[in-house]
Amino acid sequence: MSSRLATLAIALAAAGSALGQQSESTTIDAQKIEGVSDLEVSARGAAEIRRGEVSVFGEFLRYNREFGELEGTGGVRLQSGVDRFFGPTLEYNTLEDTGTFDSPGFLLQRERPARGAAERMEFLGPNHYRLFNARFTTCQPGQDDWFLEATQLELDYEVDEGKANHPRLRFFDHTIIAAPYATFPLENRRRSGLLTPYYSQTSTRGLEFGIPYYWNIAPERDATFTPVYMVRRGFQLKNHFRYLERPYAGELRYEYLPHDPVFGATRTGLSWQHLQTFRPGLTANVDYNKVSDDRYFVDLASQVKQVSVGNLPQDAYVTRTGSLPAAGTYSTQVRVQKFQTLQDPLAPIVPPYHRVPQLNATASYNDLAGRFDTSLPGEYVRFVHPTMVEGSRSSFNPVLSMPRIAPGWFVTPKTGLRYAGYQLDQSTAGEPNNPSVAVPWASLDSGLVFERSTSLSGRSLTQTLEPRLFYVYAPYHNQDHIPVFDTALADFNYPQLFTENRFVGGDRFGDANQATLAVTTRFLQADGQELLRGTLGQRFYFRNERVALAEGSTLRVARESDVLASIGGRLQQRLTFDATTQYNPYDHRVERYSIGMRYAPQVAKVFNASYRFQRDLLRQLDLSGQWPVAAGWYAVGRYNYSFFDRRLLEGLAGAEYNAGCWVFRFVVQRLQAASQVTSTALIFQLEFTGVGQIGTAEAVQLLRRDVPGYSVINRVDPALAPPSARSQLPFEQVF
């Protein structure tokens, strides 16, 4: 019988015997086939047996169809799904996906392709393999940079876990890690076990070494425990617990240093963020952070949250939102907010007031009677401070507006009342204990939008011209007897030109009789994307201001504000820029300006540059980037220098190398940790794709924070990897 007829006969026999039950057909192709098709068949000469996702090639194959047993000799190759194995002899059960392979090589073309060899291999079921005296790597054929060697290696892709007995990680024929036992993830699923050790070198902590242990508690909970040894500071334990349930989610970090020989005391750090949903429209949030001492962040690396240099939030609030009759909405909130203020003796700061408690409520109606929008916000706050005047404030700020919007124009008249009443525990001599103030105000916001077709560098564009007029009136009411709990003068910028109050906070409402004139022009592409934008704005005052933030504050007497101008856009698809300036027309000088640009022609190729200037306060240059410098090599760096202080605020320089199956990162960082304290850190990371990493654990997070637009150079998704790191195929499709 010819091989082609034999193949057909076996397939038909298998299909016929499966009548009435579910079964997969088996086909056999070879130069010579002998045996009984329903029982056992031998195939010689370029033999091939296919059953489902399993295909076996060899010089000689014997197949027992009744028991699903298959034997092969003479250059046997087995393909099971995306996995391929090849060696001299094979015993395999096609019904159970079990068997053994002598001296096999293997190629596993998963999300992370891998290959290797072993003295013997056992098939333990679908996607489950055990190898003896094995070598495993994710490097491509012909690139033997690193191998994981083990006396026994178990790869279970069903649970995404690899287990190794007596593993040794060899890098360029040098053993860099050895252990009696190890586990590692095969894809991207979470798995309990020891993570690869890390270490770093800094001037404040010395050599730092840690071994994280990851505990996959449940699909919605996990924890990481990291014992750390610092040569200068001693032993520390870092804990990170995460949880995610349907009604709540959050994370808890706790750091404990029993004794710091340099500081001379126990040191702790705590950070807890929590979000709770009781039911739709009713939520609670907690953001609590605390450290043991003022120098905690200067001396120790930490992930405790800071809202500013020196202030740690300790905040909790419950919010409820809902609907009112006649299409209205409401929002209420109960809040307790405190801060832990960390003082630098050479640069002390005034701690902010605590809010214990703060109660907010707002009711809003839009399109009322088809014409009006209205809102009524109210607030009660109790302010507490260790050294300054304490008291409570009740405020109400009803607002009524009548917006009119049409194609090409808009106008919005608005009126409101700002009321604040106080109950002070102790006031300044001669001042009332229960001061109050009520300030009515009115504003009118209006604008036009003109469009015309134009072209720029041969591209068809739409240019807009958008003039805008904003007028505010608020009468003068003496507020010198009102304390200042949470209020400051607003920064003078473009959005602030179109606000009714020049203060932020609830303790002051500035008198005003002023108008803002501004004009914006945009160049829009056919898809609506903004190509170029320019804005010019100035405020005109019709009377001198009289309400000051505090006694001795400078009041404006000029009739015109400084001029604000900005221009920005995308000169090319890869180049964006933005420049703003504040010009003083009376002194004929620039008071403040900033200019920034980003050039990002492709993934892992970005350069950022910015310069900021503020007269008598700030002159700062900030350069950062990531750029390929040779095949596989990338330079990374940041240079943030203050000309005003004549010192480097942060400097970072380093290099990355992507070899495909491993990545090396080395970075030197110098940071101004306090007014007279600098910290220098040496950071390195050696990452073996699909196995783990050694070195500084948070090297990538540091680069992402310091280099805007930074890209990880060994992304799993080829579309997100640098062009130089993209392979045409996972591995060459040959044996």
**For the chain, what are the domain ranges?**
3-164, 405-570, 592-735
The least confident of 366-370, 444-448, 649-653, 708-712 is: 366-370
Average pLDDT over residues 321-349: 91
Averaged pLDDT for residues 442-452: 96
For residue 651, report the phi and psi dihedrals to the nearest 5 degrees: -130, 140
**What is the pLDDT, as a whole number, of residue 733?**
43
pLDDT tier, 590 (very low <50, low <70, confident <90, very high otherwise): very high
Question: Minimum mean pLDDT among 2-6, 164-168, 336-340, 385-389: which range?
Answer: 2-6
CA 574 distance to own-chain centroid = 23
- Residue 412 CA to residue 26 CA, distance in Å, equals 78
pTM of the model: 0.80
Confidence category of residue 403, pLDDT binned at 50, 70, 90: very high
Q: What is the pLDDT of residue 13?
A: 41
Determine the pLDDT at residue 463: 94
**What confidence score (pLDDT) does residue 327 get?**
83
Closest C-alpha among 303, 390, 381, 291 to residue 341: 291
**DSSP string computed for 377-441:** EEEEEEEE-SSS--EEEEEE--EEE--EEETTEEEEEEEEEEEEEEEESS--TTS-SS-EEEEEE
| DSSP code of residue 497 | G
Compute the distance between CA of residue 523 and CA of residue 531 in angstroms, rounded to an integer: 5
Percent pLDDT > 70 in the chain is 91
Cis peptide before 357 (omega within 30 of 0): yes
The answer for residues whose C-beta is within 8 angstroms of residue 246's C-beta and 6 or more apart is none
pLDDT in tens, 283-310: 999 999 999 999 898 888 776 666 556 8
What is the predicted pLDDT for the residue at 400? Answer: 96
Average pLDDT over residues 144-151: 91
Q: Give the CA count within 13 Å in the CB-facing half-sphere of 407.
A: 1
Query: Which residues, in sequence order, are bridge partners of residue 378?
Result: 361, 396
pLDDT above 90 coverage of the chain, percent:
56
Dist. CA 461–CA 578, nearest whole Å? 20
In angstroms, the CA 94 to CA 28 distance is 14
More confident residue, 729 or 461: 461
Residue range 440-458: mean pLDDT, rounded:
92
According to the model, what pLDDT value does residue 724 have?
62
371, two tokens:
């014409």
pLDDT the model gives residue 538: 97
In the predicted structure, residue 564 carries a pLDDT above the cut 90: yes
Whether the Cβ atoms of residue 580 and residue 596 lie closer than 8 Å to each other:
no
CATH superfamily of 3-164: Lipopolysaccharide (LPS) transport protein A like domain (2.60.450.10)
State the average pLDDT for the chain: 87
Mean pLDDT throughout 386-409?
Answer: 94
Q: Report the distance separating Cα 663 and Cα 656, nearest Å.
A: 7
By mean pLDDT, which of 133-142, 445-454, 499-508, 633-642 is the weakest? 133-142
Least trusted range by pLDDT, from 7-16, 109-118, 475-484, 496-505: 7-16
pLDDT at 575 > cutoff 90: yes
pLDDT score of 727 = 57
- Range 207-211 average pLDDT: 87
In this prediction, residue 37 has a pLDDT band, given cuts at 50, 70 and 90, of low
Q: What pLDDT sits at residue 305?
A: 60
pLDDT attached to residue 24: 67
3-class SS of residue 350: coil
pLDDT higher than threshold 60 for residue 8:
no
- Per the model's pLDDT, the better-predicted residue between 731 and 489 turns out to be 489
What tokens does 632 get? 């596989």
Mean pLDDT of 671-699: 78
Better-predicted residue by pLDDT, 645 or 599: 599
Confidence of residue 540 (pLDDT cuts 50, 70, 90): very high
- Higher-scoring residue by pLDDT: 734, 452: 452
Confidence class for position 12, pLDDT limits 50, 70, 90: very low
Average pLDDT over residues 231-235: 93
Q: Give me the sign of the Cα torsion angle 102, 105, 108, 113.
A: positive
d(CA 661, CA 730): 11
Q: Residue 4 has what pLDDT?
A: 39
Dig out the tokens for 557 from the structure.
């007497």
C-beta atoms surrounding 510 within 10 Å: 23
Task: Check if the beta carbon of residue 351 is closer than 8 Å to that of residue 339.
Answer: yes
Mean pLDDT score, 529-547: 94
| CB 148, CB 163: distance < 8 Å | no
Does residue 11 have a pLDDT over 60?
Answer: no
Side-chain half-sphere exposure of 678, counting CA atoms within 13 A: 9
Average the pLDDT over each of 32-36, 173-177, 480-484, 554-558 and give the range with the smallest value.
32-36
- At 732 the pLDDT is 44
Res 5 pLDDT > 70: no
For residue 223, pLDDT over 80 is answered with: yes
Q: Which residue has the higher pLDDT, 655 or 141?
A: 655
pLDDT of residue 429: 67
pLDDT at 16 (0 to 100): 38
Residue predicted with more confidence, 199 or 475: 475
